[in-house]
Amino acid sequence: MAQDKLRLIPLGGLGEFGMNCMALRWQDDIIVIDAGLMFPEEELLGVDIVVPDISYLTENRTKVKAIILTHGHEDHIGGLPWILSELNVPVYGTEFTLALAEGKLDEHRLLDDADLIEMIPGKKFSIGPFTIQPIHVTHSLVDCVAVAIHTPVGVVLHTGDFKVDLSPPDGKAFDLQAFADLGKNGGVLALLQDSTNVDRKGWTPSERAVRPRLDEIFGQTKKKLFFSCFSSSVTRIALAFDLAAKHGRKVAVIGRSMDNATEIAQDLGYLKVPQGLIINPGQMRDFAPEKLLVMISGTQGEPMSALSRAAVNNHKFAKIEAGDTVLMSSRVIPGNEKGIYRVIDHLERRDALVIHDDGTNGLIHVSGHGSQEELKLMINLVQPKFFIPVHGDYRHLKRHVELALSTGVPQKAILMEDGEILELTKDTAQKNGKVTTGRVCIDSGGTIDVVEDVVIRDRQHLSEDGIVIAIVAIDKRTGQSEGVPEIVMRGFAMDDAQLIGESRAIVKRTLEGSSAEERQDYGVIKEKIRGDLKRFIQKSTSRRPLIMPVIMEI
């Protein structure tokens, strides 16, 4: 009997934001939708990214036929290098999604062996018993799709991330007709729907809704305008370029992620830039401040991002001066508040005008996810028999089940978590068993090294390479370092007075080469000390100890 059942197995993204990964299995064929990552919390020392445990896929490696990507955000494609290093299977995605994936795979030296296949919205293709129908949806990124998977027991529709934008800036509207056709042709068996904005009433505004306020800001800004948004928000970047041309400003692009995204978007025609609009950051000094727009990465307050460094006057090109305007056109991702407000404090100290999405400055950012009315619209359009919320914390999934049932459409709404197996026939949907799931911590310094467990990883790190603690006292008021930095080494070179002395000199040099503002910002100064010490110790000893700067506030 189990052979005649379709199995849905979420491996990530149901119970947390990020790490989105869903397996569908029919008999001996498995396809995977999305391969996302999460960024680690501060307490995960030595961890770069967190990806889903794919034990279930590796145990069934001969059955895994393909990975299908809905769009190019990190929480949907960021885990791809990790999965492809274990399972080299074909990867399907739209043109822009694959361009972003290529960059990731190239970085990990996996591109030459990867089989990347472009899929076109509206054009069906088959993988074993599955027929895949990509459907164009709108989101905060271009070239996004939902996937309708036609299986022997019925259609499973995975929305990916979406909102219903009928007048997007790129002119490619949400494909309502395709979803309506699915509903008319007997409805879908199961709808897997994005839960991100289930708490928000009403409709999510169109991306075009930000233009009037941004246009006003461009017109009012008297000096340099620094514009920060998610580097993947190509339509927002295109709008900023368009307004720069309208208001006679040249554009300098600063920050690796922003640079990469604009280059890919230009190559693929999503970003049309007038001749001579973009200048090299080194040319900024040749133009009057009122003639400059600086597109800069770091909208979430990341300690070593371009905006964070510019905020403490530690960027080669981005010099933020009194009277400049800094526009942060993005939402605050929960957990990032401290870093973002720290950067804003530094910008205010520089007497810059900071405009961010605090609810009082007008519409400078809109979400890429559908609110309650869009979620209900999708349910009513496709007429699902069964409903499974995806992408969200447990509370979001629970709220989404309640919302779906309130429409009166699904016969049954099922709240699932990572690892649970849902078995579907044409008439039934039942949970049956669990598979191994969890978080795998990755240290991606050049190669992909798995951190099996944080505690084990720390013990191994300490036993093999030891620990170096740099203790620095800093006067909070003045930013001056007090006394001589103390270096404590455990696990290696404990008696090497020369190494300790040279390490102390490195820390001292880092402090002396930093501005008072940087020294007062413990996030920035700790990263600088860690980076400089790490380079020195690796070069001197070929070891990678755990380096922990400790800042004592006096």
158 in a known ligand binding site = no
Angle at 93 between CA 135 and CA 69, to 5 degrees: 85
Give whole-number Cα distances, 351 to 184, 348, 355, 461, in Å.
Answer: 59, 5, 13, 44
346 in a known ligand binding site = no
Residue type (1 letter), 118: E
94 assigned to some structural domain: yes
Statement to judge: residues 347 and 392 lie in one domain? no
362 assigned to some structural domain: no
Residue with tokens 């994936």: 101
Provide the domain limits for residue 242: 207-356
Kindly report, residue by residue over 517-540, the tens digit of the pLDDT: 888 888 899 999 999 999 998 888
pLDDT of res. 1: 43
Q: Which two tokens stand for residue 493?
A: 């070179």
368 in a known ligand binding site = yes
Statement to judge: residues 320 and 239 lie in one domain? yes
Angle at 430 between CA 425 and CA 432, to 5 degrees: 110
Statement to judge: residues 473 and 536 lie in one domain? yes
71 in a known ligand binding site = yes
- Region 243-254 average pLDDT: 97
CATH assignment of the domain containing 103: 3.60.15.10
**What average pLDDT does the structure give for the chain?**
90
- Region 436-465 average pLDDT: 68
Do 146 and 158 form a contact (C-beta atoms < 8 A)? yes
Q: How far separated are the first and last CA of the chain, in Å rounded?
A: 70
With a pLDDT cut of 90, the percent of the chain lying above it is: 72
- In whole angstroms, what is the distance from residue 292 CA to residue 148 CA? 45
Ramachandran bin of 298, using left for φ above 0, alpha for ψ from -120 to 50, beta for the remaining angles? left
Q: Which residues pair with 553 in a beta bridge?
A: 474
Count of residues in the chain: 554
Q: Is the pLDDT of residue 444 over 70?
A: no
- Region 36-46 average pLDDT: 72
Residue at which a domain ends, from 356, 385, 417: 356
Higher per-residue confidence, 446 vs 550:
550
367 in a known ligand binding site = yes
DSSP 482-540: EEEEEEEEESS-TT-HHHHHHHHHHHHHHHHTS-HHHHH-HHHHHHHHHHHHHHHHHHH
Question: Of the spans 345-354, 434-443, 521-530, which averages the highest pLDDT?
Answer: 345-354
Task: Please report which confidence band the pLDDT of residue 248 belongs to, taking 50, 70 and 90 as the band edges.
Answer: very high
- In whole angstroms, what is the distance from residue 155 CA to residue 157 CA? 6
Statement to judge: residues 317 and 241 lie in one domain? yes
447 assigned to some structural domain: no
Q: Which residues are catalytic?
A: 194, 369
Q: Which residues pair with 149 in a beta bridge?
A: 132, 156
361 assigned to some structural domain: no
Residue with tokens 């145990």: 59
Kindly report, residue by residue over 127-164, the tens digit of the pLDDT: 999 999 999 999 999 999 999 999 999 999 999 999 99
Q: What is the pTM of this model?
A: 0.82
Kindly report, residue by residue over 68-117, the tens digit of the pLDDT: 999 999 999 999 999 999 999 999 999 999 999 999 999 889 999 999 99
146 assigned to some structural domain: yes
- In whole angstroms, what is the distance from residue 64 CA to residue 57 CA? 7
How many domains is the chain partitioned into structurally?
3
Statement to judge: residues 184 and 273 lie in one domain? no
Residue type (1 letter), 432: N
